[in-house]
Structure 1
């Protein structure tokens, strides 16, 4: 998607393992992709859905 500014998730490992990149700079959409396959599929979320996901993952019960 044009204009997406990708950043690596703070939870991704730094040793070349499982990495997720997020682009949340576009209006009305949050994009997620695998950093090892940048030309592969991209997941799209509404900002509200993405925020809900992040809150659930951060919740103590999810750990």
Structure 2
């Protein structure tokens, strides 16, 4: 089995992703967007990127890893 990447370039690999900005983002320094990747080999993953750098990389999380991350922040 081929390992999935941990990050991908948003501008090329995730061109068709539908991004949602966090309701906690205030336009200062803490802007985050997420996208479900829908179909294909990355379908089970969630992408997270800096909304100020939409052409930059997106970090990929499994649903479980994302929930663990959010729980740790609480």
TM-score (norm 1): 0.75
**Large movers: runs of 4+ above 3 Å:** none
Alignment RMSD (CA, Å): 1.5
Asked which structure has the greater RCO (Cα within 8 Å, sep 6+), the reply is 2
Q: Which ranges of structure 1 fall in alignment gaps of 5 or more residues?
A: 59-63
Q: Which ranges of structure 2 fall in alignment gaps of 5 or more residues?
A: 1-13
Residues 2 and 40 (structure 1 numbering): CA distance in 2 closer, same or farther, change over 3 Å?
closer
**How many pairs align?**
56
Alignment pair present for 1:23 and 2:39:
no
- Give me the whole-angstrom Cα distance separating, in 2, the residues matched to 1:40 and 1:56: 25
Counting strand residues as a fraction of each chain, which structure ranks higher? 2
